[in-house]
Homo-oligomer: A and B are copies of this chain.
Amino acid sequence: MTPWEVKGKIDYDKLIRDFGTQYISEELINKVAKYTGAVHTLFRRKVFFSHRDFNWILDKYEKGEKFALYTGRGPSGHTHIGHLVPWLMTQHLQEKFGADLYFQMTDDEKFLHDTNLNLKTSTGFTYENALDVIACGFKPEKTFIFSDIEYAKTNYSLAIQIAKNITYSTVKSIFGFNDSINIGMIFFPAIQAAPCFLPSILKQKKIPILIPAAIDQDNYWRGIARAVAPKLGFYKPAQIHSKFLPGLGKWGKMSSSEPETAIFTVDNPEIASKKVMNAFTCGRSTVEEQRKLGGQADICPVYQYFLMLMEPDDQKLQKKYSSCKSGELLCGECKANLSEKVKKFLIEHQRKREKAKDNIYDFMLRD
């Protein structure tokens, strides 16, 4: 185990085996670096660790065939900093490869899934979340953010072409539906797959697609988009998969449904910094014990915040890792440090987020 690799209760190796994806190898990382210069932190530290056809995307690029990026967000509430991990990678790829980005806000699915959510609230969060996307530094002329509900004209005609080739049996087995599921949720996988082919439709030529997303999204692309692509005459979408930023409580990915353990991008920075101070760590029971045995950076969620988002400098991260493991750094001090970094991060993000309000419509795709 190296200090560069996220581990935790989630067995990522098992996910790779179960889903049948490939590890992002050193060789592949070096191939990317030919175009990006320095290797991105999230590749270097294996936060993006798995892929499908990423090598194929790079081969296409080498031959002069540019790819488009597609990722998205289910706008059921405010963005938390865990959501930013794939977006920051996406921004990096847009910048280095000059790629167009299609960003889907699945406000329809959130509305269909959540009994208490109305349509207006759902599309409202689309715009709130779009500010966070824009704050990541995407280029307006190459970024097309759309609400499923508002962009339905184009989306629906593409989705029915996909839907025609997908049976209820298929979505039932992929998503574990039973017959009491509502018929909107059943159709939704076709809507979710549509952006894989949208660039090809809009540009009227086959365009390779790369999806950076957390690994739990893989089943959408494997079972739906990749399955129908050949039938519809499109390329299968390629993917790179990230690990999850853990929540501040005991293990598990950061989740909006546990607000006290999630850091939202709109949180007051002081309050967010207090949440960090209350975080669960993998320190020992007593100071004495910790001095003697050392901390457990390898499995500690607080350490993962530094690794995934808050400490881009490898030397400093290495130092943090060593001083935790040696028992020199205690959890309180470590959290105080993270808390400061989170505060600064949020102040800066919120400045950019506020600025995004001036030109949000430059980023929104309409039909």
Contact = CB atoms under 8 A, between A and B. Distances in A.
Contact of A160 (B112, B169, B189, B367): B112
B182 A166 contact: yes
A166 to B, nearest CB: 5
A108 to B, nearest CB: 5
A152 interface: yes
Contacts of A166: 182-183
Contacts of A279: none
B153 A171 contact: no
Interface in A146-191: 149-153, 155-157, 159-161, 163-169, 171-172, 177, 179-184, 186-187, 189-190
Please classify the interface of chain A as helix (H, G, I), strand (E, B), loop, or mixed, using the class held by over half of its residues.
Answer: helix
Contacts of A111: 160, 164
A33 interface: no
Chain A: interface size category = 35 or more
Given A152-B156, A156-B149, A163 B187 contact: yes
A305 to B, nearest CB: 37
Contacts of A157: 119, 149, 152
Interface string A136-151: 0000000000000111
Contact of A152 (B153, B177, B186): B153
A165 B160 CA distance: 21
B169 A180 contact: yes
A114 to B, nearest CB: 10
Given A112-B160, A149-B160, A152-B153, A183 B187 contact: yes
A167 to B, nearest CB: 5
Given A184-B187, A187-B184, A190-B183, A164 B112 contact: yes
A164 B107 CA distance: 13
A73 B293 CA distance: 76
Nearest to A169: B179
A163 B367 contact: no
Contacts of A155: 152, 156
B189 A183 contact: yes
Interface centre among A167, A172, A190 (most CB of B within 10 A): A167
Nearest to A159: B184
B152 A165 contact: no
Interface of A: 108, 111-112, 119, 149-153, 155-157, 159-161, 163-169, 171-172, 177, 179-184, 186-187, 189-190, 367
Q: Which 7 residue pairs across A and B have the least CB separation, nearest first?
A: A163-B184, A187-B187, A152-B156, A153-B153, A169-B179, A168-B179, A163-B183
